[in-house]
Structure 1
Amino acid sequence: MNNTPLVVHLIYRLDFGGLETLLVECINRMPADRYRHAIVCLTDYTEFSKKITRPGVEIFALHKPPGLGLGIHAEVWKLLRRLRPAVLHTYNLAAAEYAMAAWLAGVPVRIHAEHGRDARDPEGKNVKHNLLRRLLIPIVDRWVPVSADLQRWLKHAVGVPDRKNMLINNGVDTTRFQPDSQGAAVAASQCVIGTVGRIQDVKNHLGLVDAFILLRNRIPENLPQPRLVIVGDGPLLPALKEKVAAAGLADLVWLPGARSDIAELMRTFSVFALPSIAEGTPVTILEAMSAGLPVVATRVGGIPEVVVDGQTGTLVPPSDAEALAEALASYCRQPALAARHGVAGRERVERNYSIDAMVSAYAGLYDALRTTKTKFREPIKSCVE
């Protein structure tokens, strides 16, 4: 029998995305003699699961139907009773409510992470959702926002007390995401606007295409003409393809879908763009900065904490195609500026957003909560026992 404590990560769906990348990085990098891991997907998982290289990680798919899916609470409870984890780590609103099932199942430590908000509630003001979060405050041992913006929101809008509200910055693998060895020469010879992310409303890829249409009229003919690369899959990909085709841009916009070679693709970009409506701390921005790219992004969520306007990139208002186009044009016109901001971005990531620091922080949090709860009280037993 393996006595290494088990962490169960509960997520809505394990698919290509920033949150999922962080989850996999934590599992792969956390010392094997310190914690074991399992993943419970409320719906399902995809080929992305193959990125898990740690042996022995079980993945469970509960195939939750749309809507409340009340029966899933019982399934989560039964599964947790069987697995007997030391820690349950839930991610974002869709998974938060299952902390109650973990409490009833006697899971000693319950952690909930907030990685961002969606397009339907970009400021986190939904009364029903925040009521649910407030009801869970006594059940959840620690709330983990990934940006100072989210930490302030949890404190003031939800009411999470400071002692339960712990910021852990997202991290990036700076060895994998490195600048192109040819650097400035590549930037000077092309103008490729690139972005990576799930094709859904909160990322506003349709707005990026609008900005790209405006951008094409702002670049003189004697300079490299811009191209656009949007990497990712998602529910709005068909609509995005239709918009690109209708605008006659099929030869200038590449939509390759989900890819596993993101680091290599980023080395072909000149500028990274993220026109999101709402965000936490986007992993793709950290990856782009680590790759030495200047970033043009919207001034929402935790993005201004990462991108220093005028030093590592340019911040623009959300849903403003004109401002986005002009910011992108500045880098296409001035490759030296793009190179300078790219270097500054790489240095900022190396100083503040290490993947090793992130993994160490999560492992330390698991350790601290397990030690505290073991010291001061016995693990909570199920009310049915």
Structure 2
Amino acid sequence: MSRSDERPLVVHLVYRLDFGGLETLLVECINRMPSNRYQHAIVCLTGHTHFADKIARPDVAIYDLQKPPGLALGVHLSLWRLLRRLRPAILHTYNLSAIEYAFTATLAGVPVRIHAEHGRDAADPHGLNRKHNLLRRLLVPFVDCYVPVSRDLQRWLKEVVRIPDGKNAMIDNGVDTERFSPAVKDMSAPPAEIVIGTVGRIQDVKNHAALIDAFVELRKKLPDYRTRLRLVIVGDGPLLPQIRQKVADLGIEDVVTLPGARTDIEDWMRRFTIFALPSIAEGTPITILEAMASGLPVVATHVGGIPEIVNDDVTGTLVNPGDTKALANALAAYCLDPALIVDHGQAGRNQVEKHGSVSATVSAYTALYDSLCQKKSVFREPVRACAE
């Protein structure tokens, strides 16, 4: 990467560049941000997969630090050297695994440090881990802005972590409403198959095991629908082998599809009838916004920022986390009432069109970058607003 380029460089630091909502939003922002405004590079603590192929801009470099498990203090030195070489204007870190490197970036002379919180993990779904929150709080002098992606996360940063209001700026997630759009379906007759689908990294926080249990319960609850019911779980991750084994042990391999990681998510969404996400913790899930943009009703858990985007009994149904029976009942209600599928799906599509556009998200991040760069005198001359 040539630093003779006068565009400010944004270095995005993530744990791993792999299939996931956070990573999808990151790539969308890079692809859509005006190319004459900022350069971008991605630094991965633990490597990347072919998900990186989704980056459309040819000038985006990717660096892997190959961080081993544990503290790995040597990674701080490696990052310091890389930042000194790249001389970025902004370091943008994502989630707990990357926040400590804001201090390293300060030592490396990076003028602007931004930290985004996209959600919490299964081990600490309510964000109450004192050690982790102390780390977030101690880094306040080294972080110019914390960016939560939901009001729930913003409240948590303010009230639990105690981040000052002046450094706590929420930016809503958004999706491409042209790429994700409803399938053209014949609504004059009930569908031959009712496909319950989900998309996401196969890890404990997404609680795919509960969805499988609810699907088994649903088949028992609606015996007349057994031949029509299907479950599709799209994604890869550390728990995929366990999920495959669970499906095999239950003897439902003929009605459950596990295609692994896919790049054609919009096509899979159009095959679904209902979207389900039984997560233990969440920020604002990109996959739910994609499902709503695709005209699907959403059955999800009442956690994190999900209630902010899923309007219960309007665009979907919310259940308590871990309540398998309630999850099955919610799915059954849609199976028994095709009109409800259409009504909630259309309401979700309308909501995302009005309030969930990825263009608004990109504009907000661009404005944040501009504001902080101007404050730190990064620009050689004043930057014009996007509207100009």
* Band of TM-score, shorter chain: over 0.9
Question: Which of 208, 227, 246 is the equivalent residue of 2:230?
Answer: 227
- Residue 213 of structure 2: which of 188, 210, 213 is its match? 210
TM superposition shift of 1:333 = 1.0
Structure-2 residue corresponding to 1:258:
261
Shift of 1:374: 1.5
SS of 1:74's equivalent in the other structure is: helix
Write the distance in 2 (CA, Å) between the matches of 1:323 and 1:242.
24
Deviation at 1:182, TM superposition (A): 1.9
Quote the Cα distance in structure 2 between the aligned partners of 1:221 and 1:303: 32
Aligned partners of 2:230 and 2:255 also within 8 Å? yes
Residues 64-98 of structure 1: per-residue CA shift (max 9 Å, x gap): 00001100001111110100001110000000000
Cα-to-partner distance string for 1:18-63 (whole Å, 9 max, x where unaligned): 0000000000000110000000001100000000011110000000
One-letter amino acid of the structure 1 residue matched with residue 125 of structure 2: P
Counterpart in 2 of 1:379? none
Query: Any conservation in 2 of the 1:183–1:339 contact (CA below 8 Å)?
Result: no
Q: Relative to structure 2, which stretch is displaced further, 327-336 or 114-123?
A: 327-336
Contact 1:8 1:85 in 2 (8 A): yes
Alpha-carbon distance between aligned partners in 1 of 2:336 and 2:221, rounded to the nearest angstrom? 9
The residue identity in structure 1 corresponding to 2:168 is N
C-alpha separation in 2, matches of 1:370 and 1:28: 20
Judged with a 3 Å threshold, the aligned counterparts in structure 2 of structure 1 residues 59 and 109 are, in CA distance, closer, same or farther, namely: same
1:18-29 pair list within 5 angstroms? 18-29=21-32
- State the match for 1:281 in structure 2: 284
Q: Give the Cα–Cα distance (whole angstroms) in 2 for the partners of residues 274 and 257 of structure 1.
A: 17
Alpha carbons 2:219, 2:225 under 8 Å: kept: no
**Structure 1 contact 312–345 (Cα < 8 Å) conserved:** yes
Stretches of structure 2 that go unaligned for 5 or more consecutive residues are 379-388
The one-letter code of the counterpart of 2:313 is G
C-alpha distance in 2, partners of 1:67/1:102? 20
Percent of residue pairs bearing the same amino acid type: 66
The alignment status of 1:240 with 2:240, answered yes or no, reads no
Given candidates 293, 296, 299, the residue that maps to 2:296 is 293
Deviation at 1:297, TM superposition (A): 0.0
- Is contact 2:201-2:236 (8 Å) kept? yes
Within 1, Cα distance between the matches of 2:205 and 2:147? 21
Paired with 1:346 and 1:188, the residues of 2 have a C-alpha distance of: 20
The TM-score with structure 2 as length reference comes to: 0.95
TM-score (norm 1): 0.96
Deviations, residues 301-331 of structure 1 (Å, cap 9, x unaligned): 0000000000000000000100000000111
1:1-385 equivalent positions in 2, closer than 5 A: 1-182=4-185, 184=187, 188-221=191-224, 225-374=228-377
- Give aligned pairs, total: 376
Q: CA RMSD in A?
A: 1.4
Counterparts of 2:41 and 2:188, CA distance in 1:
45
Deviation at 1:138, TM superposition (A): 1.0
Structure 1 residue 234: Cα displacement = 0.6
Shift of 1:122: 0.1
- Partner AA of 2:338 in structure 1: P
Q: CA deviation at 1:217?
A: 1.4
What is the DSSP-based 3-state SS (H/G/I as helix, E as strand, rest coil) of the residue aligned with 1:68? coil
